[in-house]
Amino acid sequence: MTKYFPLENGIYEVKPGMVRFGSDFGNGIADRQVFQFDDQFPDYRSVKMRSRAEKLSKYYQTHNYFHHLAQAVARLIISRLTLEHPEYFQVENQLENLANINFALNCKLTQEKLYFDANYQLQQVEMSAQSISPAYISTLDALAAQVQEDITVICRTTNDFNWVSAIHLCFPNHWSAADKIGKDFAKIHESVAGMEKINQRGNAIVNTMITREPMVRFAWGLSTDTQLNHHPEISPNLPIPESQSRKFDLHNPQLYLRIERQVIWGLPEFNAAIFTIRTYFQDVAKIKQDTARRHKLISAINSMTRNSLIYKGLLTSRDDILQWLQDGDDIKS
């Protein structure tokens, strides 16, 4: 299984941290894939379907997501899926007697066939399993439902004004698509502790995202559960209420490293970039068994400022977490 550990230097840092896409992190071919699949796909898919059924606009938003950009994003996603995972995704071009249909994408993991016109606009969906409710409302909505990543698109004008034009976010980590859509880089990140200096270079960072070669970066935090959907707005479909999601119990310790692998792929001819987020969890109880990584995690937590602890929801749990990490055995009541 693909694994990442973005704490190797033992310091909690807020920085762009972008490295060349395809860099070797010890995961073989997976490190060279934008979209990563594993045996947990059914669980990720189920969360996406439940989120969409709850309220699609809560998880999918667009703002000035122009047709030519939507077409370019769709073309990129489909090309990467068919290149990286030909066993799961195939394009069918020889389609007869289908009005306004140019090609179809056969998605074997979901047993869906997505039909598109020449402009990559979704025309119809064929499925062998149960129907999708609500029905896909766009190409991006349909394609995002086929992968284990969340997808965001950022664009800018020629005078460097930038904004988030599309967000398909079914695995939010305490943030909301509706709260971020249409905002620029600095506004999006103004609540992130330690981002002040980076936000001052927001336009330059967006320029890098758009014009440079594809890149990858990582973000991490600690969670007391492996629930993918932590939307700040309470949902009746969530097994763990938002108010309980960050409470660490020293006498019944459950703690997970929540890691986001973020891929940035620029579309300079459209003044835009696609930004994917793949969420992974690692059981900290297992990390404790690795002395070197346990010490790096302890060091990283100790290096966090008060504002960072508040932002990450760790202020009240920090001391108990450190005590547990430093103990040889779990404490039982």
Q: What is the pLDDT of residue 333?
A: 39
Q: What is the pLDDT of residue 237?
A: 64
Amino acid at 14: V
**Crossing angle (nearest 10°) for helices 318-326 and 291-302:** 160
Q: What is the pLDDT of residue 130?
A: 74
Q: What is the pLDDT of residue 95?
A: 76
> Is 271:157 a contact under the CB 8 Å cutoff?
yes
List the one residue out of 230, 305, 216 whose CA is nearest residue 260. 216
For the chain, how long is the longest CA-to-CA vector?
Answer: 69
Is residue 278, in this structure, part of any structural domain at all?
A: yes
Cis preceding-peptide flag for 134 (omega within 30 of 0): yes
Q: What is the pLDDT of residue 247?
A: 85
Is residue 4, in this structure, part of any structural domain at all?
A: no
* Strand-pair partners of 215: 20, 264
Is residue 332, in this structure, part of any structural domain at all?
A: no
* Strand-pair partners of 263: 216, 276
Residue-number span of the structural domain to which 143 is assigned: 19-326
Angle subtended at Cα 326 by Cα 195 and Cα 228, rounded to the nearest 5 degrees = 50
Is residue 198, in this structure, part of any structural domain at all?
A: yes
Helix locations, the chain, DSSP H:
41-59, 67-84, 139-144, 177-180, 185-188, 196-200, 202-211, 284-287, 291-302, 306-311, 318-326
Is residue 287, in this structure, part of any structural domain at all?
A: yes
User: What is the rounded distance in angstroms from the CA atom of residue 260 to the CA atom of residue 263?
Assistant: 10
Amino acid at 330: D
The helix/strand count (H/E) of the chain reads as 11, 11
Is residue 124, in this structure, part of any structural domain at all?
A: yes
3-state DSSP assignment of residue 141? helix
**What tokens appear for 152 in the block?**
């965001």
> Is 316:28 a contact under the CB 8 Å cutoff?
no
Helix locations, 145-257, DSSP H:
177-180, 185-188, 196-200, 202-211
* Count of domains observed in the chain: 1
What does the buried/exposed string (b/e) look like for 198-227 if buried means 16 or more CB atoms within 10 Å of the residue's CB? Answer: bbeebbebbbbbbeeebbbbbbbbbbbbbb
Is residue 169, in this structure, part of any structural domain at all?
A: yes
Q: Classify burial at 123, counting beta carbons within 10 Å of its beta carbon; exposed 0-12, middle 13-18, buried 19 or more.
A: middle
3-state DSSP assignment of residue 282? strand
User: What is the rounded distance in angstroms from the CA atom of residue 174 to the CA atom of residue 229?
Assistant: 8
List the one residue out of 1, 91, 73 whose CA is nearest residue 278. 1
Is residue 10, in this structure, part of any structural domain at all?
A: no
Element of type H or E holding 215 = strand 215-223
Taking only the tens of pLDDT, the chain with its 333 residues reads 789 999 999 999 999 899 999 999 999 999 999 999 999 999 999 999 999 999 999 999 999 999 999 999 999 999 999 999 999 999 999 777 777 899 999 999 999 999 999 999 999 999 976 789 999 999 999 999 999 999 999 999 988 899 999 999 999 999 999 999 999 999 999 888 888 888 888 999 999 999 999 999 999 999 999 999 999 987 766 665 544 567 899 999 999 999 999 999 999 999 999 999 999 999 999 999 999 999 999 999 999 999 999 999 999 999 999 999 998 554 443
